[in-house]
């Protein structure tokens, strides 16, 4: 049974000579199949907590465990969708999809291109796969 455990998690950002406490003593468990929402005002630490859960940021103290294993950096079993999309502006839509897949799939360039084309077809972007991000609308 999968679960996420957050134990006494705190994170302090250090910038120049200043410190900012973003998370303080957070502890909770999310069981397999449980649906959880993180809500709060702007700047309260929601994105910071998610960054720690995905391994993009290390906590100052405490720990996150997934299936009993401490999170130490990013991993293939976790993903994040950023608030601001992050596409490489010099790559086409298809090249951006292939880049992401290369991080987790061990397939030939031809196979990755075929899968990328199928993914773009599934979301109705087959006519835009060779366009740069700047040539696409925000919804695309």
- pLDDT, one tens digit per residue, over 19-59 is 999 999 999 999 999 999 999 888 889 989 999 999 989 99
The per-residue pLDDT for range 77-92, each reduced to its tens digit, is 787 776 666 788 899 9
**This prediction's pTM:** 0.63
For the chain, list the domains and their CATH numbers: 3-70 (3.40.50.300), 93-134 (no CATH)
CA 97 to chain centre: 15
d(CA 122, CA 126): 8
- What share of residues in the chain are helix, strand, coil (percent, to 5)? 30, 25, 45
């Amino acid at each position: 049974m999968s679960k996420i455990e957050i134990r006494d998690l705190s994170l302090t950002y250090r910038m120049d000579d200043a410190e900012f406490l973003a998370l303080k003593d957070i502890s909770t468990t999310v069981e397999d199949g449980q649906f959880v929402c993180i809500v709060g005002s702007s700047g309260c630490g929601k994105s910071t907590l998610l960054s720690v859960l995905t391994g993009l940021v290390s906590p100052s103290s405490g720990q996150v465990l997934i299936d009993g294993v401490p999170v130490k950096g990013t991993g293939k079993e976790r993903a994040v969708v950023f608030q601001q999309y992050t596409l490489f502006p010099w790559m086409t839509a298809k090249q951006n999809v292939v880049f992401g897949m290369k991080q987790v799939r061990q397939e030939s360039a031809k196979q990755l291109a075929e899968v990328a084309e199928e993914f773009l077809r599934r979301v109705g972007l087959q006519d835009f796969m060779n366009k740069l991000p700047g040539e696409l609308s925000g919804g695309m």
